[in-house]
Amino acid sequence: SEHHEPIITREIFERANALIRQRGKEKGIVRETGKYQKRFAFSGKIICGVCGSKYKRRIHNSGTEIAWVCSTHITDIRKCPAKYIRDDILKAAFVTMLNKLIFSRKLILKLLYDTLKTDSTDESIQRMQELQRLLEKNSEKKNTLRKLRAQEIINNVMYNQEINILRKAADGYRNELAVLGTYTSAEAYEITELEKLLRFTESAPVVEEFSDALFADFADHIVIYDRDCIEFKLKCGLTLREVL
């Protein structure tokens, strides 16, 4: 028989689309939720300095102007008076901030790097080593107490009293170690991020335009206090204020 190409009628096409939409809903894939919308560099990264909410992206002036607005302000202007700020102004401020770091690399970044490498980390490590030694001595004292009780040199009442004191002290040492471990990890992360920023500023020419990649590499988030003052919180731990 003669071969014919299949013909997709409008009815079949619409039924197929309906089936795809239904399966998407069943799997939780709803286009309107924004799950598959484009993520912008500032998405989820702008914090309102007035109320603490995150900013949302908005289109103003019939699509000609992109701006960021506090989500609380959008919901209820009485709860947060923060005004919107234009996307291009934020991007220009970030470029300015990066160029300042390039020109003042030795004064700001190198000084911070040397301080982090020599002071805080060393002190934390020394304290952690001391706590480890205290835990070892604590364990030795517990073993001694067990031997003394086994030899009936001390009674159970004295043994329990001393053991409880040692256990409480050991818990304190372990808690401090946990805190210092977290703190030291945070410092190590900041040092790594600072090294990355140092390498960039050492070889980078003047930054002429905003880059999503650079923002993602170096910035943790932005805090907006008003249209004239914002802060860039960098991954390396630096907070840099820009007056607009």
- Tell me what percent of the residues of the chain surpass a pLDDT of 70: 82
Q: For the chain, what is the mean pLDDT?
A: 84
Q: Are strands 46-48 and 219-226 parallel, antiparallel or unpaired?
A: parallel
Nearest to 186 by CA among 178, 196, 174, 198: 178
* Element holding 243 (H helix, E strand): strand 239-243
pLDDT band at 148 (very low <50, low <70, confident <90, very high): very high
pLDDT at residue 125, rounded to an integer: 76
Residue 36 reports pLDDT greater than 50: no
In the structure encoding, which two tokens stand for residue 58, read together?
């908005």
Higher pLDDT, 203 or 98: 98
Return the pLDDT at 29.
42
Asked whether the predicted pLDDT for residue 19 surpasses 70, the reply is no
Read off the pLDDT of residues 156-199 as tens digits, 9 standing for 90 and up: 999 999 999 999 999 999 998 888 877 777 788 888 899 999 99
